[in-house]
Amino acid sequence: MELQTLTYLVVGFTFSIYIGIAIWSRAGSTKEFYVAGGGIHPVANGMATAADWMSAASFIGMAGLIAYMGYGGSVFLMGWTGGFVILALLLAPYLRKYGKFTVPEFIGDRFYSRTARAVAVLCLIICSTTYVIGQMKGIGVAFSRFLEVDYNVGLLIGMCIVFFYAVLGGMKGITYTQIAQYCVLILAYTIPAIFISLQLTGNPIPQLGLGSTLVGTDTYLLDKLDQMVMDIGFNEYTTDVRLSGLNMFAYTASLMIGTAGLPHVIIRFFTVPRVRDARSSAGWALVFIAILYTTAPAVAGMARLNLMQTIEPAPGQYLQYEDRPQWFRNWETTGLLEFEDKNNDGEMYYSADPQTNELVTVDLDIIVLANPEIAQLPNWVIALVAAGGLAAALSTAAGLLLAISSAISHDLLKGMIRPGISEKNELRASRIAMAAAIVGAGYLGFNPPDFAAGTVALAFGLAASSIFPVLMMGIFSSRVNKEGAIAGMLAGLGVTLFYVFQHKGIMFVESTAFLGDTPENWFLGIEPNAFGAVGALVNFAVAFGVSAVTQAPPAEVRELVQHIRVPAGAEAALDH
């Protein structure tokens, strides 16, 4: 069957499943809209959390980054998975025990301040909006390539799908839809990886294939890749660090604590029945995430090897532009793959030096999506990858939009503006806020600001520097007060934004860049995307410092902190 027809059928089938689930799981109360009624099984919640977490950045972008950065790309694997360990051990069970609907609600109650709640809402909206832009872009790119429609048309279709199941079902509809989306995206990611691993190494397990020898030779795949990238001027694939060891550490730490501080992930742990289920959910989420994250290095390495061998079939022999394969022609039309013939000899050459020879420019976001075409896999596999990419972007976009709409309807409207609003009217306001959030996200998808289009890592840095520290201090310190929490959040967020916006060379921002935009001018050589860890330290320092010179929290707040931390069984024993 023709690829486009097959893609329409596969994508259309998955979309019909999402819509059917939304109709079946329509939310009838605010509790169902915000936390799916609080009765989701931990295994199901773990799967939904994995889909919520594995965005277009994980499905589409991560393997591309690893393919380009090699060993340096391990910061994403360690940071994004390590963050779930922190979340499972230090945040999820305590926040679930507290039993509220949103992160700002916990912050407002713990720090006995509507201002603290409002600042938390501001931080949440900034982090989530920055993150959701990348998802909307991923939706548009996937649609434009595989369904052969204009980017704007593809984005509009994606908005309509999210609008239907998110506005109708809220967290309840999103949860069950995300379970279906996880199944789609994980099959779409692993099946092509299995095919390609078999082609290259004869091993059907990609994780093992990456360390195996190539079919018919005694050469290991990674040794071959190292030699190929070094021959054309790149650093060795398997050992090249990301700028410096300190930068690698800061980047990993920023992604870890940013993951633990992302509101759309945290809110998922409010949907389970009991405290221990929150910890169990995080464990199951790690299992489901690990299937993709342990496969990603294999996808990255094999994709880069295939791409380079396509352009350079044998050492010193380069592909003629007129003989370029069909996959190359397909992706050229998107503008994400380009060839510039600098010496007009018609030969395609992939080089680390952009100033010499012919230059093939590859957008990192196409690595996963183009991989099955490069390997000449069957059309149904390519169609499945298209559906998987859309599932990843849609699932995370829905979670982010719910976090934004909940902050507006529950924290701002009910919590601060109209505390006496009825549940029916709050539910209506939640749906209106969700619709408005989708329209706003769509607008930013159509007109992405440069600073957010550059990387979603910014969202993690902002969450790391603003939300994560205040949650940790709210749970584990009875001395931090409202003044400290507010000052800490503003200081952490402010210093991170300030640092990022002054380095236009990384974040693509038109600014004066008076701090300088080269590594020599960075603070201790730490790049802007890794600065969230430093912002978190600033947050902690300011919060503790301000709290030390201001009045201690009231006694009932200190008792609340103790109550959150004491296990339920021990608490019952103490009562007797």
**DSSP calls for 81-110:** HHHHHHIIIIIHHHHHHHT-S-HHHHHHHH
The pLDDT, as a whole number, for residue 134 is: 73
Confidence at residue 51, expressed as pLDDT on a 0 to 100 scale: 87
The pTM of the whole model exceeds 0.85: no
Measured CA distances, 10 to 5, 18, 157, 329, 540 (Å) = 9, 13, 15, 23, 49
- Condensed to tens digits (0 to 9), the pLDDT of residues 249-263 reads 999 999 999 988 888
Query: Tokens for 175?
Result: 């949860």
Which residues contact residue 376 at a Cβ distance below 8 angstroms, ignoring those fewer than 6 apart? Answer: none
CA distances for 556 relative to 96, 110, 415, 552, 553, angstroms: 20, 10, 20, 11, 8
pLDDT value at residue 352: 64
Query: Which residues are paired to 317 by β-bridges?
Result: 314
pLDDT in single tens digits along all 576 residues of the chain: 777 788 889 888 988 888 888 788 777 777 777 776 777 889 999 998 888 888 777 787 788 888 888 888 888 888 888 888 898 888 888 888 887 778 898 999 999 999 999 999 999 988 888 788 777 777 777 777 666 777 788 788 878 887 877 777 777 778 888 899 899 999 999 999 999 999 999 999 999 999 999 998 999 999 999 988 888 777 888 888 877 888 889 999 999 999 888 888 888 888 888 888 888 888 899 899 999 999 999 999 998 888 888 877 666 667 777 888 888 888 887 777 777 777 677 777 766 665 555 567 777 777 888 888 888 888 898 889 888 888 887 888 888 888 888 888 888 888 888 888 888 888 888 888 888 888 888 888 787 654 433 456 678 888 999 999 999 999 999 999 999 999 999 999 999 988 887 754 343 333 333 334 456 667 888 888 888 999 999 999 999 999 999 999 999 999 888 888 776 555 554 444
What integer pLDDT is reported at residue 47 of this predicted model? 92
Domain boundaries, the chain: 3-302+377-447
What is the reported pLDDT for 87? Answer: 86
Where would I find the beta strands (DSSP E) of 475-524? none
pLDDT per residue as tens digits for the range 34-74: 776 777 889 999 998 888 888 777 787 788 888 888 888 88
Give Dmax over CA atoms of the chain in angstroms: 86
Output phi, psi for 510, to 5 deg. Answer: -80, 105
Q: Please report the pLDDT score of residue 518 as a whole number.
A: 56
Angle CA(267)–CA(272)–CA(276) in degrees, nearest 5?
Answer: 105
Q: Which helix (H) or strand (E) holds 339?
A: strand 337-340
Distance separating alpha carbons of residues 260 and 283, to the nearest angstrom: 14
Q: Which two tokens stand for residue 458?
A: 């910014």
